[in-house]
Structure 1
Amino acid sequence: MSQSDNWPSDDDASDSQSCHILPSDSDDSPLTAPVSKSRLRPAGKAPAHMPPAAEDLHTSDEEEPELSIPYNVEWKLSINSRRRAGQSELGIVGSPRKFWRSVLEPKLAKETAKKPCQTNETKIVLSTTRRSTPPITRSFEELDVDWPFVKEQLQKWNKLPNKSNHRNVTTLTITFYYTYIDTNKPTKAAATAEQQGEIEARIGDGTVLSRGACIRKAYLLMRCPGLPCTKGDHCWQYQGRHIPLHPHHIRMLADHLQAGKPWNGHDDVPETFRRLVLDDERDRKAREEEEQEKERRRKRRRRDSDGAMTIHCHSQLCDTEGPASTPELVFPTSPLMGFDERREDLIRAYSVWQRCQVSEEQKGFYEQMQHLSLHHGVDLDMIVSNQKMMFNFFVEHEVPKGFAWRYVSDIRSFHKQRQQAKNTR
């Protein structure tokens, strides 16, 4: 038999392709009639995110179809509540499971190999610049991410209509939460049955909580359930209000837990805690009203002093002198920065860019400035042209000065990075 007899004919190859294509294990769709599809990729059409060696890691039964519209991935590694690594991956066209196995999983393994640590949780956030489309947040145990769900959602958003010749930008934010393993810490001997019986008899229900565990549980139960409010990460929701909490409030709740008394959250706090927090809130409001009244008196005296001075000044100068006012709105005469996307989409993209550079505790302030900008019709060009006015505007709406300064000062850097990313495509 010649060597050429071992090669399949064109008809055999066609039949082999059409009859042996198996569905991917990541696809949850029902079986459909097999369709003949070439496995050869046209020249120059390799995915932007996949290195050549990574594609060879998959066998034929693991191949998944690429998405029609590329998406971006922002991944972060958090160990002991501190960010240790992270990177932006732009223009992904492969399926999320394939990207995880070929690119992201090796990078994560490399970063976590430096010191012993264990996986706690993986959190994903799916967002798109499509207006009125809210983000989707999911949490998974360890690294058990539901990649078929992620892929299905990306495919749904790929079908959303575009406006003004600008395609929707979809971003997949993945945060991996790890904790270090202390290998040098000696293990504690377990309590004997007799000791455990004494503890259960002393506590009553057998539940033993240390002081640190009680404080951690109190902080966890009193975390603000909604978006981060201006009162801080921890507050007490009472009759529709967010009342700020202080360390001595948390210590009172920890004492309640350590005494073995039941407590499940905002709605069933102890009566002593309720009275103490409400009394502290009344005292705080009284102090604020007193400070506001002092400030009003100072401003009144300042106006009276300025008015008395202008009586004796020249009439031509009286119209121009007076107390300092808020910076006026600037109407630029030179060309604007020239963004080529919808203004509200740019506000959202800029806020996402800012949030990617801070921790989870600080992201709420940038979301607050995004909502304020969209509600008042403010765009990036207006912020650049009126930095002082917009800084005062955000501060007046209870945004800390540092976050407000960063939000109004980073737009040119954001625009420059965005232009560089477009030029490299």
Structure 2
Amino acid sequence: MSNDEIPACCIQYTIEWKVTVNKKVISRDTEQDVALTPSAYWPMTLRGKLEKLLAGKTSSKGRVRSDDTSIVVYVNDRSQRDLIKRFDHLDIDWTAVEQQLLKWGQPFCQGKKLRLSITFEYVEEDCLSKTTSGRVEKRGRSSATKRMLNERDAQLDAEEATSGQESIWRAVYNLMRCPSSSCHLGRHCWQDPHGKKHYGLRTHHLKRLIALVEKGGTLQSHEDVPEDFREDLYIEEQHRLESQQSKSNKSVGTTGSCHPINIHFNGTSHSESHNPTAAPVMLPPPMDQGQGDFIIPGLRDEAVTEYSAWHESNVADDKLKAQFRQICDIALANGLDLQLIYQDQDPSFFVDQGILVGIARQFVRDITKWANYVSTV
């Protein structure tokens, strides 16, 4: 038996891997009953499959480059904590991963399943050149958002080249990027090492973690998140649940205070309409025709970002621009697209998150104006 092979009687595991380009998943695959060590299976098998897939899937997109690689090691045992690792590009150090698999050798022998979840993240290499050269993207207009993001990345790259190490900002954002495709709390989460529950992180949370590292604190895994930060997340989650419960109770109380009303529908028999025990039949309220009078093509999250960038382009003050970026982060972190925001017509939600009243009102009010604008450009 080769030194690269894990004894089949001791450890076998599954690899679930996916590839993303510009945050969009382009492929998923599974490697079952792997008996080689990850450090051997990667160059012998998996890397070749990855390169072949990229050659076929990205030929029409132009060249792509590796951004980073995220690995999560799981065992289906609630008493064990997952191991989460992130690496720049494809520079993967398999040591910690293999040590974790060996550590879980005993649970495996007891019938537990071991699994690696690997995400290979790529970005289009020519995105920056397309934007700066003034070429027009989809829908006949240049994307101000992509231009700003590329400028930010270029600045971070320059800082890293000068210091010789990864920027704190990028390290924190990459560490807290949620690896789960089933999580709907936003792009960044803190995963509680004890209960495995995800807590969505907004911009002010991430800035707080960045400040912690800048002051000399350690943040290499989710377990390093300090207790006071965790307590704040627990409290925010409790307040959110209490708020939902309060709204639900008010709704029930309002309904219960109304006098009973006999409602007759066509096709309802006389005996049914006068049966006091029959369940009331409710029709949904008619939808406001103004809520569906615009169509926004493309991906919903990208539309939110581009809409925010349009607002930024209409103001000169840096503080106002920052407010629009913040409200965009809040919307994305809560899974809100432009259609939902427009239907709710509730700027108070954003005001409660620290957004200026005027900015929140503009963000909610001007969606149809922006939609009509992009449809004519």
TM-score (norm 2): 0.40
Q: Rg bigger for which structure?
A: 1
TM-score (norm 1): 0.36
